[in-house]
Structure formats: structure tokens, C-alpha cells
């Protein structure tokens, strides 16, 4: 087995891992950084299976890491996309209230947007909703002009390309799965299926496997990752004309999910969804996927059981949407009443890594922890893709102090 010597090993070839490596190398171009990705391509999981939206930052609690990094990251992401010709479109979106009881939370979302410094947002009337999206019906809404769509796979591939072309000695390794860590004083040997990588420092951005990597490395975590699959439908050729750009409902304030929505993708297709159903396999994208280790670990965790006890009605409702097209359609008709069964066809799926505390509470904000010569991104839910470059910059600042890079 070969041994590869690096200054920093970054685990995870999604948007956060690659942004982190890129940002550190921008600040310290002489550092040799290895990015280890276990799949045959970058962005194979959460990054490449999300809804492709450039989020504005309107939803997030003012002052939170999500709010700060989303707004900063969005602006930097758009500039990056323009510089490197990444397919994107700042097309705007509407957030639509369908009933009176949603108006109070819709107003709170709008006030968050004002507090977070979101540009080009305004309240809109029922008439304005139909002017923007002729088939959509609601009693009031919010126009968010700075929201857009982007090819996140193209974005991460460009980051990987830049890391290897701009910084001598840095490299992205595919099909390289981390198996274990061996500590020898200030040095860590990361053992993989393709040999050993020895480094002074380790940064883990492992998404769906982040808690397991933190435990293996020795830093540990006080939360656990539980997977929630999001199923999508696509609008058929018949239904495509009913959506121009992006249509979102007012989100349920009890959950971090934004509700089923309509998203025009950069390839011209229109996706509807996602729902949010517990998965029996962390990286399982089919409805019947099952992994014994993943299931036992998830259901054996007190936090999961406490979460289910609190939110079992929500869980049952989401499962109905997963296995009943008619029920999924009914939820979509809340926004577009004229939508018919033959307007939607089954699409793809993604799995969201949700960090749960032992008390069964969702950890909604970004969670990054440093210990010794390691940094772990333990929770990076949406809008982590939008905020990736800002998160990478934040980790660079942590690494500069933690690893004495400056």
C-alpha cells in the first residue's frame, strides 16, 4: 500500500468539502491538500441530488450561521458561476400563502428577509401572483427576485478542476473511501481502500457519513445523522407550461423542510417536491432500499425515537405522499389547482442528512467543531450548497487558528 503525504486531508467531495479545500488553497497556495471522495465522481450525494436552487437567505433566523453564510455565499456563488460559465439563472421565485392561517408566518419570513439584508424582495397580492405564475393561486405572497437556479454538479466539478490546476501538489482522489484513522502525535494517517494518506491536519465534510467519520477520527459528536429521502416528480410535457420559474409554499415553522414546491431546473425540466421520509439506508434513493446497519443505528438512537414520538403525524403524512401519487398531487394542487395526474411523472430522489440531538430535536443551523488537528462539519443542511463558498471561507478561518497556518 502506498503512502501519500499532505498538509491537509479533506474528506468529502461535495460542495462543502471542495469549497473548503479551494478556499484554504486560495489563502495558502503552497499547502498540499488531498480531497478524498469515496464515489466515482464528485457531488454524488446531497450536492448532486438537491433541488438546484440558489437560495436567497430569506427563511433563516437573523444572526444565525445559515443566514450570514447563505447571503454571503449566494453572492459569491453567482459571481463564481459568471466567471467560470457555470449554468445558472437568477430567475426569481414566489412564496405563496394559500390560506389565512399562513399569513402570520409568511410575514415573519418576509421580516427575516429584511433583517438579513435580502435584496429585491417585496410582498405581492393574489393578482400579482397570477401575473408572475399564471396557473398558481394564492391569497398573498412574497416575490424573491435574487433567488435562482444553478448546476451544482457543474459547480463542484469546476472547484475540483481548479484545485488540481491552480495549486501544485493538491489533488482530488475519487473512489477513495476512508476506513480508519491512526494517530501518531501531531500526524494522522488516514487509511483508505486506495492506500494511506498521512497529513498534519484533517477536515471532514462527510455529509451523510459525518457523525461516523467524527467518531472514527476520535473527535466524536453529541448528535447523530438520520437520513430523510426527498422524492420528486417531474412535470410532463403536457404540464410544463404551468410553471415558469420557482413556486414555493409558506413553510411549516415546525420543520426545516420548505414543503413541496416547483423548481425549473437549468436543463429546462420542472421538478415538483420533495417530501421528507425517513430512510432505512443512508444513501438509499429508492423507496424500498434497506441497510441493516443504517436502520439499527438510526432506530437504536434515542434521539430518533424521541423525534418520532413528537412528530409521528408528520411522518405518516410524508409516507402517504411517498407511496401515493394521488396524495402527492393533492399537495401540489394547493399551489396549482389545475394540475392533473398526467401533468406529473415520477422523477429522481435525494437524501438529506439531518442531525438530531439526543433529545430528539433537529439541529437546524450549521454545526462545525474543531479539536486538536481535526475539524468536522457535523451538520450542513440546506442552504449549504448555496452557502458553500462562504462555509469554506469560515472553515479556512477556523483552520488558520486551529492548525496554526498563518
Q: What is residue 313's predicted lDDT score, i.e. its pLDDT?
A: 77
Q: What is residue 257's predicted lDDT score, i.e. its pLDDT?
A: 65
Burial environment of residue 15 by CB neighbours within 10 A (0 to 12, 13 to 18, 19 or more): buried
* In-domain check, residue 265: no
Structural domain span for residue 296: 224-238+273-357
- Going by C-alpha positions, the residue among 403, 371, 380 that lies closest to residue 33 is 403
pLDDT tens for each residue of 309-355: 988 777 777 777 778 899 999 999 999 999 999 999 999 999 999 99
Contact indicator for 249, 133 with CB cutoff of 8 Å:
no
* In-domain check, residue 290: yes
* In-domain check, residue 91: no
* In-domain check, residue 96: no
| 273 Rama sector, left if φ>0, alpha if ψ -120 to 50, beta otherwise | left
Instruction: Say whether both 234 and 313 belong to one domain.
Output: yes
Contact indicator for 38, 178 with CB cutoff of 8 Å:
yes
* In-domain check, residue 177: yes
Number of domain units in the chain: 2
Which regions of the chain are under pLDDT 50?
Answer: 1
Rounded Cα–Cα distance for residues 54 and 73 (Å):
10
* In-domain check, residue 59: no
Q: Per the omega criterion (within 30 degrees of 0), is the bond before 274 cis?
A: yes
**Helix 388-402 and helix 65-83: axis angle, to 10°?**
110
pLDDT tens for each residue of 274-319: 988 999 999 999 999 999 999 999 999 999 999 999 887 777 777 7
38: its cell numbers: 469515496
3-state helix, strand, coil in the chain (%, to 5): 35, 30, 35
pTM: 0.95
Local structure of residue 61 (DSSP, 8 states)? P
Strands 178-184 and 93-97: unpaired
Q: What is residue 1's predicted lDDT score, i.e. its pLDDT?
A: 47
* In-domain check, residue 62: no
The CATH number given to whatever domain includes residue 377 is: 3.50.50.60
Instruction: Say whether both 175 and 293 belong to one domain.
Output: no
Burial environment of residue 200 by CB neighbours within 10 A (0 to 12, 13 to 18, 19 or more): middle
371: its cell numbers: 479539536
Per-residue buried b or exposed e for 89-105, using 16+ beta carbons within 10 Å of the residue's own CB: eeebbbbbbbeeebeee
Burial environment of residue 128 by CB neighbours within 10 A (0 to 12, 13 to 18, 19 or more): middle
Amino acid at each position: 500500500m502506498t503512502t501519500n503525504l499532505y498538509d491537509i486531508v479533506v474528506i468529502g467531495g461535495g460542495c462543502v468539502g471542495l469549497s473548503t479545500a479551494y478556499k484554504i488553497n486560495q489563502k495558502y497556495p503552497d499547502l498540499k491538500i488531498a480531497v478524498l471522495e469515496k464515489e466515482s465522481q464528485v457531488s454524488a450525494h446531497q450536492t448532486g441530488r438537491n433541488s438546484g436552487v440558489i437560495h436567497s437567505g430569506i427563511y433563516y433566523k437573523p444572526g444565525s450561521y445559515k443566514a450570514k453564510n447563505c447571503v454571503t455565499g449566494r453572492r459569491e456563488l453567482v459571481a463564481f458561476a459568471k466567471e467560470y460559465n457555470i449554468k445558472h439563472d437568477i430567475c426569481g421565485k414566489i412564496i405563496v400563502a394559500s390560506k389565512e392561517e399562513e399569513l402570520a408566518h409568511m410575514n415573519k419570513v418576509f421580516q427575516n428577509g429584511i433583517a438579513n439584508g435580502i435584496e429585491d424582495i417585496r410582498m405581492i397580492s393574489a393578482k400579482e401572483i397570477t401575473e408572475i405564475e399564471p396557473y398558481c393561486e394564492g391569497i398573498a405572497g412574497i416575490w424573491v427576485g435574487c433567488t435562482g437556479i444553478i448546476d451544482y454538479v457543474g459547480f463542484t466539478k469546476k472547484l475540483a478542476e481548479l484545485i488540481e490546476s491552480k495549486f501544485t501538489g493538491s489533488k482530488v482522489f475519487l473512489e477513495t473511501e476512508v476506513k480508519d484513522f491512526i494517530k501518531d502525535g501531531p500526524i494522522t494517517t488516514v487509511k483508505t481502500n486506495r492506500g494511506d494518506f498521512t497529513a498534519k491536519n484533517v477536515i471532514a465534510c462527510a455529509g451523510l457519513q459525518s457523525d461516523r467519520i467524527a467518531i472514527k477520527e476520535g473527535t466524536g459528536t453529541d448528535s447523530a445523522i438520520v437520513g430523510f429521502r426527498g422524492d420528486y416528480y417531474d412535470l410532463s410535457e403536457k404540464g410544463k407550461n404551468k410553471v415558469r420559474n420557482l413556486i414555493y409554499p409558506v413553510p411549516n415553522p415546525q420543520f426545516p423542510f420548505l414543503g413541496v414546491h416547483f423548481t425549473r431546473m437549468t436543463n429546462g425540466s420542472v421538478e415538483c417536491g420533495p417530501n421528507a421520509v425517513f430512510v432505512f439506508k443512508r444513501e438509499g434513493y429508492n423507496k424500498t432500499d434497506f441497510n441493516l446497519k443504517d436502520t439499527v443505528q438510526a432506530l437504536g438512537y434515542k434521539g430518533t425515537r424521541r423525534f418520532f414520538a413528537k412528530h409521528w403525524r408528520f411522518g405518516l403524512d410524508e409516507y402517504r405522499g411517498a407511496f401515493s401519487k394521488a396524495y402527492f398531487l393533492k399537495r401540489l394542487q394547493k399551489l396549482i389547482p389545475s394540475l392533473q395526474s398526467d401533468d406529473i411523472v415520477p422523477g429522481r430522489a435525494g437524501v438529506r442528512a439531518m442531525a438530531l440531538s439526543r433529545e430528539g430535536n433537529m439541529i437546524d443551523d450549521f454545526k462545525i467543531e474543531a479539536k486538536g488537528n481535526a475539524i468536522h462539519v457535523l451538520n450542513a443542511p440546506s442552504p449549504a450548497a448555496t452557502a458553500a463558498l462562504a462555509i469554506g471561507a469560515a472553515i479556512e478561518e477556523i483552520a488558520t487558528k486551529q492548525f496554526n497556518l498563518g
